[in-house]
Amino acid sequence: MQAFFGALYMHVFGLQVIFYEDRNFGGRSYECSSDCADLHSYFSRCNSIRVESGCWMVYERPNYMGYQYFLRRGEYPDYQRWMGYNSCIRSCRMVPMYRGLYRMKIYEKADFAGHIMEFLDDCPCVSDRFHHRHISSCNVMNGYWIFYEYPNYRGRQYYLRPGEYRRYRDWCATCATVGSFRRVIDY
């Protein structure tokens, strides 16, 4: 019965993600159901997160800046569980649900120059398939993607929505090194 009312509450009130100040879902909390560019007025630190539905990107700084972390439905009792470097979360963005063909072109150089390769699926090791250590620009035609700094989906993360990224800074990276990437498909 409790599960039924929980599902009804989420449907009616749109509850998606809950941020907690303390580890193990303790302390003050804030419930969020849409993008929020500045969370600092709702809590001073974030040590645990419960994602009730959907997929989310959470950011270390306001306005979707700083370290980025991809979260799917589940419980994250401390910031190390989402690969966080600290307890600072200042903005969040919901990843829209997408069903269809995923398509992205990556380029060796800025402004869509140099070696090019098109991808329709995940890539656990960019250098194995692309034969370059750097992706300096990309064009996301379809779907939502996450770039990772290292192979096998490790290290810093970068969220890419459909659009053109002329330089690696356009996806908020500090360098052009991309070790792996995957599609956001798990809901």
SS3 assignment for 41-84: CCCCCCCEEEECCCEEEEEEECCCEEEEEEECCEEECCHHHHCC
Q: What is the DSSP letter of 93?
A: E
Q: Which tens digit of pLDDT belongs to each residue from 41-85?
A: 999 999 999 999 999 999 999 999 999 999 999 999 998 888 888
Share of the chain above pLDDT 70, in %: 91
**C-alpha separations of 62 from 8, 91, 104, 106, 156 in Å:** 31, 5, 28, 28, 17
Write down the pLDDT at residue 9: 40
Residues of the chain within CATH 2.60.20.10 domain(s) are 2-95, 103-183
Is the CATH number of domain 2-95 2.60.20.10? yes
Non-local CB neighbours of 176 within 8 Å, separated by 6+ positions: 134, 135, 136, 168
Counted residue by residue, the chain has a size of: 187
- Cα within 13 Å of Cα(83), Cβ side: 15
Residue 158: name the closest of 169, 150, 170, 146 by CA: 146
- 175: tokens are 């360098």
CATH of domain 103-183: 2.60.20.10
Q: What pTM value is reported for the model? A: 0.87
Write down the pLDDT at residue 8: 41
